[in-house]
Structure 1
Amino acid sequence: MELYLMRVGTMRATGGPVAAYLVRHEEGDVLIDTGYPRARAGAYAGELKEPVQLDHGQDVVSRLAGLGIDAGEVRDVIISHFDPDHAGNMDAFPRATFWVQEEHYDTARSGAVPRLERFRALWDLPEDRFALVKGDQEFRPGIELVESGGHIPGHQSVLLRPPGARPVLLAIDAIPTSADLDAAERSIYPFDMDEERVRESTRKLADLARRENARIVHGHDPDQWRILPLAPEPFPL
């Protein structure tokens, strides 16, 4: 197993990364999240309200190409949730099955989360493109999907157990920075929808990381990502 961390944009408000992850697995490559819509590359320069700074060549399709991977050939994409900085390029993966928590899929399709509607056309694909997940589930040997709702219903994180190596927990938006590890004291951010579930999921993931002795990669932590090895360099496992 190999892991590549891909910075596919920058949150303008915080300087934190927009992240996607590639897992090279013996059963085939797995992409985790697809980043902000590549059609918006450069838009931040002329629109003050654009939340993500994305330059041409920084999008997930370009990052994958830099690793020798054609997005059109990727067969499995794990989507943490449909926020546009995580699901903004699902249209670039025409052969992929998208693995999403059923709770999140149903909530999004209902129209109950207004912030998902702007780019709905990018994630609201035919039902047969999705594999719906119910709670914690092994995706493949060494890759576990971990339900971690609160930021949004049905958010999921990913635990990697590389053979013979220390596990890695991709917390994504459930614990977006290392300052948010204390469930009782952590910040609740403007886009977090359910404070109680945010704190429950924080506690769940922190306990999981302790049990597994896992390293945690935080999805939007500018300080952590400043020192992490990024693609095309592999994350050391």
Structure 2
Amino acid sequence: MRIHHLNTGTMCPIGQRLVNGSGGIFRRARMVCHCLLVESNDGLVLVDTGIGLDDIADPPRLGRRWVRQTTPKLDPAETAVRQVKALGFSPDDVRHLLLTHLDRDHAGGVPDFPKAKVHVHRREYDMAVTHRIAPPEGRYVTAQWQHGPDWAFYGEGGEDWFGFKGVRALDDREADILMIPLPGHTLGHCGIAVRGSDRWVLHAGDAYFHHAQLDARPRVPFVLGLFQRRVDMDRAARIRNQERLRQLKASHGDAVTILSSHDPVDYETCLCAHHLAPAA
């Protein structure tokens, strides 16, 4: 399957050194919303959706505090739907949206693909959509799914994948696209693995924020580490899953490329591996 790497939302918080790990303290950092567009046997599959057109048209719905702190560019050209068109596809060609979780910078583009089936972990849906599990106040932007998407749920049973448990394939036709439970950042947080031409690509969502967190001696810039702890729903689970990702990289780094949603180094490394120029 062919995999396109998209940046569907650039964020520029203050404090480059404390967020990216280098540069000036008073300079703007750069973070991305790294999504995957997969050409599959059943049409296009989008892994996460980034910031959407409705968010850009009405930035306050993202949360005034969030917008103030992250300073997103809010460029329509960066949205997944515009990039899908730029690649020569129709938005209707996108048949499936696989979401690592439903935070605003991951689910914002869901309304831009109203005909697509939206795949999430059941616990994420129960917290963000039905509130059967009470979410933290202000965590989710419910307007991003008010159009009533066609949902598909994961979380019951599953297989093993490189030692990860409860792994479920997209469906019988797509055994090489997998939903992998990685709770911690949210209770229903998942990674999405896609088998490429020569190796797996594991989109680990917000299971980690900085590429150096997967090093043998992990480290994270100060402000990014504070933010990560503040938004954890289950810190112990997130730490355990980061260690599992670290072990996966050490043991199977020749077979699996692991990437984070927001790390620009991961994004640019993937682009270089595919000989592509960054979109933003």
TM-score band by shorter chain is 0.7 to 0.9
Question: Structure 1's 99 and 55: CA in aligned 2 closer, same or farther, altered over 3 A?
Answer: same
Instruction: Tell me the distance in 2 between the aligned counterparts of 1:132 and 1:208.
Output: 26
% identical aligned pairs: 27
| Pairing partner for 1:221 from 249, 256, 263 | 263
Question: Structure 1's 94 and 220: CA in aligned 2 closer, same or farther, altered over 3 A?
Answer: same
Using the TM superposition, give the Cα deviation of residue 83 of structure 1 relative to its aligned residue in structure 2, in angstroms. Answer: 0.7
Matching of residue 61 in structure 1 with residue 103 in structure 2 = no
Matching of residue 95 in structure 1 with residue 105 in structure 2 = no
Using the TM superposition, give the Cα deviation of residue 185 of structure 1 relative to its aligned residue in structure 2, in angstroms. Answer: 5.2
TM-score by length of 2: 0.72
TM-score by length of 1: 0.84
Alignment of 1:1-237 (within 5 A): 1-13=1-13, 14-41=29-56, 49=68, 51=70, 52-108=72-128, 109-110=130-131, 111-117=134-140, 119-124=141-146, 126=148, 129-134=150-155, 135-139=166-170, 140-163=174-197, 165-181=198-214, 187=220, 188=225, 189=228, 190-209=230-249, 210-211=251-252, 213-229=255-271, 233=276
Using the TM superposition, give the Cα deviation of residue 34 of structure 1 relative to its aligned residue in structure 2, in angstroms. Answer: 1.0
Question: Structure 1's 50 and 88: CA in aligned 2 closer, same or farther, altered over 3 A?
Answer: farther
Q: How many residues align?
A: 230
Structure 2 counterpart SS, 1:200: helix
Structure 2 counterpart SS, 1:57: helix
Give the root-mean-square deviation of aligned CA atoms: 2.9
Instruction: Tell me the distance in 2 between the aligned counterparts of 1:102 and 1:30.
Output: 19
Structure 2 counterpart SS, 1:116: coil
Which protein is bigger by CA-based radius of gyration?
A: 2
Structure 2, gaps ≥5 residues long: 14-28, 156-165
Using the TM superposition, give the Cα deviation of residue 123 of structure 1 relative to its aligned residue in structure 2, in angstroms. Answer: 2.4
Contact 2:180/2:192 (<8 A) preserved: yes
| Cα deviations by residue, 1:157-177 (Å, 9 ceiling, x for unpaired) | 1112235x1222111211222
Using the TM superposition, give the Cα deviation of residue 144 of structure 1 relative to its aligned residue in structure 2, in angstroms. Answer: 1.2
Structure 2 counterpart SS, 1:202: helix
Using the TM superposition, give the Cα deviation of residue 3 of structure 1 relative to its aligned residue in structure 2, in angstroms. Answer: 0.6
Structure 1, gaps ≥5 residues long: none
More helix by share: 2
Instruction: Tell me the distance in 2 between the aligned counterparts of 1:10 and 1:69.
Output: 23
Using the TM superposition, give the Cα deviation of residue 84 of structure 1 relative to its aligned residue in structure 2, in angstroms. Answer: 0.9
Moved over 6 A (4+): none
